[in-house]
Amino acid sequence: MKYYHKIVGIMLCCVISQRSLYGQKQSSYKEIHVSQEGSDINNGAQSSPLKSIQAASKIAQPGDVITVHEGIYRECVSPPRGGESAQKMIRYQAAAGERVEIKGSEVIKGWKHIDRNTWMVSIPNAFFGTFNPYADTIHGDWLERGKWCHTGEVYLNNIPLRESETLENMLLAKADKALWFAKVDEKEIRIWANFIAANPNENTVEINVRQAVFYPEKPYINYIHVKGFMMSHAATPWAPPTAEQIGLLGTHWSKGWLIEDNTISHSKCVGITLGKYGDAWDNKSESAEAFVKTTERALENNWNRDHIGSHIVRNNRISFCGQAGIAGSLGAIYSVIADNIISDIGLNQQFWGYEVAGLKLHAPVDVVIRHNHIYRTEGGIWLDWMTQGTRITNNLLHDNKVQDFSLEVNHGPVLVDNNLFLSEELAQVKLSQGIAFINNLIAWKIWPTGKVDERKTPYLTPHSTEIAGLHDCPCGDVSYYNNLFTRADLTVYDECPLTVKMKGNLFLAGAAPAKSEVEPQVDPVSDTNIKVVEEADGWYLYMNVSSDWKTNKNRMPVFAQELGNAAIPQQRIASAAEALKSFNIDYFGNTRKNKHHYPGPIEFRKNGMQKIKVY
Of the given ranges (236-245, 412-421, 543-552, 579-588), which has the lowest mean pLDDT?
Answer: 579-588
Q: First and final CA of the chain: distance in angstroms?
A: 6
Dihedral sign of CA atoms 495, 496, 501, 505 in order: negative
How confident is the model at residue 553, as a pLDDT? Answer: 84
Run of H or E residues at 403: strand 403-408
Strand order in the sheet with 118-124: 112-115, 118-124, 188-194, 179-184, 162-163
Is the predicted pLDDT of residue 116 greater than 90, yes or no? no
CA atoms within 13 A on the CB side of 137: 15
How confident is the model at residue 14, as a pLDDT? Answer: 43
Nearest-angstrom CA–CA distance, 580 and 559: 9
User: Averaged over 244-257, what is the pLDDT?
Assistant: 98
| Confidence band of 168 (pLDDT split at 50, 70, 90) | very high
Is the predicted pLDDT of residue 5 greater than 50, yes or no? no
Residues in CB range of 151: below 8 A, 6 or more apart: 133, 136, 137, 138, 208, 211, 235, 236, 237, 268, 269
Q: Dihedral, CA atoms, 294, 217, 226, 362, nearest 10 degrees?
A: -10
Instruction: Single out the residue of 426, 400, 356, 375 nearest to residue 145, CA to CA.
Output: 356
| Assigned superfamily of 211-523 | Single-stranded right-handed beta-helix, Pectin lyase-like (2.160.20.10)
φ, ψ of residue 412 to 5 degrees: the values are: 75, -170
User: Averaged over 484-505, what is the pLDDT?
Assistant: 95
Is the predicted pLDDT of residue 517 greater than 90, yes or no? yes
Tell me where in the chain the CATH 2.60.40.1180 domain(s) lie: 105-208
Choices 3.20.190.10, 2.60.40.1180, 3.30.2000.10, 3.20.20.70: CATH for 105-208: 2.60.40.1180
- The β-bridge partners of 408 are 384
DSSP state of 378: B
User: Averaged over 475-500, what is the pLDDT?
Assistant: 96
| Confidence band of 539 (pLDDT split at 50, 70, 90) | very high
How confident is the model at residue 581, as a pLDDT? Answer: 58
Q: For residue 544, give the 3-state DSSP assignment.
A: strand
How confident is the model at residue 281, as a pLDDT? Answer: 95
CA angle 586, 592, 597 (to 5 degrees): 110
Mean per-residue pLDDT of the chain: 93
How confident is the model at residue 560, as a pLDDT? Answer: 85
How confident is the model at residue 575, as a pLDDT? Answer: 60
pLDDT above 90 coverage of the chain, percent = 85
Is the predicted pLDDT of residue 58 greater than 50, yes or no? yes
| Confidence band of 515 (pLDDT split at 50, 70, 90) | very high
Is the predicted pLDDT of residue 498 greater than 50, yes or no? yes
Is the predicted pLDDT of residue 15 greater than 80, yes or no? no
Nearest-angstrom CA–CA distance, 368 and 126: 45
φ, ψ of residue 534 to 5 degrees: the values are: -85, 125
User: Averaged over 600-610, what is the pLDDT?
Assistant: 93
User: Averaged over 461-489, what is the pLDDT?
Assistant: 96
Tell me where in the chain the CATH 2.160.20.10 domain(s) lie: 211-523
How confident is the model at residue 374, as a pLDDT? Answer: 98
| pLDDT higher at 431 or 557 | 431
Global confidence as pTM: 0.94
Residues in CB range of 190: below 8 A, 6 or more apart: 120, 121, 122, 123, 182, 183
Q: For residue 88, give the 3-state DSSP assignment.
A: strand
Contact in structure between 328 and 362 (CB atoms under 8 Å): yes
How far are the Cα atoms of 151, 239, 277, 418, 454 from residue 350, in angstroms, in the given order? 12, 16, 27, 35, 32
Nearest-angstrom CA–CA distance, 412 and 364: 10
Is the predicted pLDDT of residue 580 greater than 70, yes or no? no
| Confidence band of 19 (pLDDT split at 50, 70, 90) | very low
| Confidence band of 561 (pLDDT split at 50, 70, 90) | confident
Q: Note the pLDDT tens digit of each residue in 189-244.
A: 999 999 998 999 999 999 999 999 999 999 999 999 999 999 999 999 999 999 99
User: Averaged over 122-139, what is the pLDDT?
Assistant: 96
